[in-house]
Structure 1
Amino acid sequence: MLPELSAAAWVLLVAAAAVVGVSKTALPGASTLSIAAFAAVLPARQSTGTVLALLIVGDVFALWAYRRHADWRALIRLAPAVIAGVLLGVGFLVVADDGDVRRVIGVTLLALIALTLWRRRRDSTDRPHGGRILYGTLGGFTTMVANAGGPVMSMYFLAARFPVKTFLGTAAWFFAIVNVVKLPFSLSLGLLTPSGALLDLVLVPAVLVGALAGRRLAERMNQALFENVVVVLTVVGAVYLLL
């Protein structure tokens, strides 16, 4: 039941699975690189469901590492907007063209990057509570249609000026909950196939290696480096979606 893949494709998928682990424990937004790799190897719809299962595996390791560091107040305030965004994404997946969806998300990410950096320069104490409806809705929508909610929510948590571990802990709980909520929709839409699930089982060890490496990396990053890397990865994710 495994898809027939070349040796180069297997190497790419193993590396992408490891990046999923790193993204969950050290570098939020890096999972967009994994999304690109899976989309290059597998059919577009199947790649979405296959990556989702690996993201859920990565969420388990992220919770193990940072479960005590979440800002639950921020998560609770985001919940209504995120739920609305996920439901919008489900409806959009039924009728939208994949290419148009990716371009819309890419433009949105670039706009959010510009907005977030502008707000941080304008007022060093500014926090994005007033924008949580925008960020939450877009985060729910983008994660449902393309597993691309990481960059959107990274911009929200970055604007909130969370310390590294609070950032990672809040993101861990956010995506652990949202990805589990997304799973039934993905199954009903046929995005996760039996062959994709079997492929995920083969790739789980790579996610584990990446998660452990990411945990060690996060311990060595200072706040400024962490924030700069988050911005760069978000830009990379946006450009990928546009192309």
Structure 2
Amino acid sequence: MNTMTLWHITGWEFAALAFAALLVGFSKTAVSGANTVSLAIFAAVLPARASTGVLLPILIAGDLLAVATYRRHAHWPTLWRLFPAVAAGVVVGTVFLLWADDAVVRTSIGAILLLMAAVTVWRRRTADKEEEPESVTTRPGRLKARSYGVLGGFTTMVANAGGPVMSMYLLSAGFRKLGFLGTSAFFFLIVNVSKLPFSAGLGLIDGRSLLLDLALVAFVVPGALFGKWAVHRINQRLFEQLVIAATVVGGLQLLLP
């Protein structure tokens, strides 16, 4: 990665990155999946591959705030079922990044996100409408957990786009708002921290990229605080619709040239 390009951004480009960082904070404490818009902004302002390395520490900062907010609502049995498959997906994603160019990465991730959104909408329309307790979920099948886990690990490694994939999995498993946010908070904190050595090894993170992160991370905090305020004012159906809509928007943005 030619990190010197990171210092050639204009004031307007930095403002766009700051807004994207604020949106990361909001997505971590309110509407998970909305940070696909942040992904698109970072990829538009910075070189696409380099942008994934700059965005990763920003995401980790948002994960820490989300864990601090929703740590009591995590569903650990779901997390333990997912982690082995996610690890496999991260390894596959790392190998993929060794040869894939930006166009292949964007097209692959965009297609996966739209497919996940379509599957989830279909499943929600055909599923029973019974209410679930706030932090309790139905037990998803092992094949389903493995499939989503591999896809989540792959997409989070190649483009930091695992959020929508995991959002689709948690929604299809019947999670309510707080259980959804608590489980995804721990999931992405653990996964994103584990990605650091892979990203550094690929040359996507270095001292210069971390300095840019240091300038941007302050914008994550107000976004997270606004998300914490907003989430209690969003009903469950609207919450699910926003998550799916954010996934579709992110997928379309990745597919467009």
Query: TM range, normalised to the smaller chain?
Result: over 0.9
Q: Does residue 1:24 correspond to 2:28, yes or no?
A: yes
Give the corresponding residue for 1:58.
Answer: 62
Amino acid at match of 2:25: G
Give the corresponding residue for 2:209.
Answer: 196
Give the corresponding residue for 2:113.
Answer: 109
Map 1:72-221; keep pairs closer than 5 Å: 72-124=76-128, 128-129=140-141, 130-221=143-234
Give RMSD over aligned pairs.
Answer: 1.4
User: Which ranges in structure 2 are unaligned for 5 or more consecutive residues?
Assistant: 131-137
Alignment partner of 1:46 out of 43, 47, 50: 50
Moved more, 112-121 or 90-99: 112-121
Provide, for residues 73-126 of structure 1, a one-character-per-residue CA deviation record: whole Å limited to 9, x for no partner: 111111111111011001111111221122112112211222122222222268
Moved more, 102-111 or 28-37: 102-111
Displacement after TM superposition at 1:180 (Å): 0.4
Secondary structure of 1:3's partner?
A: helix
Secondary structure of 1:220's partner?
A: coil
Structure 2: distance between partners of 1:230 and 1:44:
24
Structure 1: distance between partners of 2:38 and 2:112:
20
Structure 1: distance between partners of 2:42 and 2:89:
24
User: Which ranges in structure 1 are unaligned for 5 or more consecutive residues?
Assistant: none
Provide, for residues 179-205 of structure 1, a one-character-per-residue CA deviation record: whole Å limited to 9, x for no partner: 000000000101013221101111111
Structure 2: distance between partners of 1:107 and 1:204:
30
Give the corresponding residue for 2:134.
Answer: none
| Runs (4+) off by over 3 Å | 125-128
The TM-score with structure 2 as length reference comes to 0.91
Alignment partner of 2:241 out of 222, 228, 232: 228
The TM-score with structure 1 as length reference comes to 0.96
Structure 1: distance between partners of 2:111 and 2:53:
23
